[in-house]
Structure 1
Amino acid sequence: MKEVTLIGLLTASLFSITAQAEVIEIATFKLNDGVTVEEFTPLDKAVEMQHVSQQPGFISREAAHGDNGEWLVVVHWETIEDAEASMNSFMTAEAAKEFMSHLDANTMSMKRYSK
């Protein structure tokens, strides 16, 4: 009986977490010439901790780098309105200034997908 209850609770918890992720935001960009992964990584983490993760509807964020200064950022939001509000406040956020100064804004692309 305890085993069935535990499985039911785990299933309900996983469904609850999955059900929240309604919007997936994908951003790609390249760093400015001369900016290293080691230099940019703390700026990326700072923008996540000081701004993005503090926004209403935030679920999770992950970032990864590829070859030639390419970056990928994936953010999960509860709603499209939450994603929009975060983006609208991003450019004026203190943490975003240093972040944005190290990447080539002309290479930035962002798309959103609904679940």
Structure 2
Amino acid sequence: MNTKNMPVVELVLFRAKAGVSQQTLIEGTQSIQMWLAQQPGYIRRELLMTHEGQWADLVYWNSYEEAMVAGEKFMSLPEAGPLESVMDVTTIQMFHFHQMAAFEAVPVK
């Protein structure tokens, strides 16, 4: 299956630095949102957290190529400073998943 022009979900798993509150971390992630929303191929973004403090930043892209271009630009982005200051960079893991199927809810009768 050719995944070249298929939607991609970028998953970044990480933990906050010791002593960083949930609100401070959320504010740190918002520092890049304006820039991110202007990138070609950007669809939407979600920030999730487990009860154990594991965070997941999900970014939806139109294609893998657009996600990669944005990722390269991100590395030198001044707006990334507040985000990097609240993340434990030793815990960061990044994955890119191609959407292979999508399923909608079925109304219960």
Residue equivalent to 1:36: 21
| Pairing 1:23–2:8 present | yes
Between the aligned partners of 2:57 and 2:51, the Cα distance in structure 1 is 15
Name the structure where helix makes up a greater proportion of residues: 1
Deviations 1:24-48 (A, max 9, x none): 1111100110111011111212212
Counterpart among 68, 71, 77 of residue 84 in structure 1: 68
Instruction: Give TM-score, length-normalised by structure 1.
Output: 0.75
Q: Would you say 1:102 and 2:86 are equivalent positions?
A: yes
Larger RCO (CA under 8 A, 6+ residues apart) = 2
Match of 2:77 among 93, 103, 107: 93
Query: 2:74–2:80: 8 Å Cα contact kept in structure 1?
Result: yes
Any stretches of 5+ residues in structure 1 without a counterpart?
A: 1-19
Larger radius of gyration: 1
Work out which of the residue numbers 59, 67, 70 in structure 1 matches 2:43.
Answer: 59
* Gap regions ≥5 residues in structure 2: 100-109
Work out the percentage of aligned pairs sharing the same amino acid. Answer: 27
SS of match in other structure, 2:28: helix
What is the distance in 2 between the residues matched to 1:46 and 1:96? 7
Cα root mean square deviation, aligned: 1.6
Cα distance in 1 for partners of 2:29, 2:85 equals: 12
Q: Give 1:70 shift.
A: 2.0
TM-score normalized with structure 2 length: 0.79
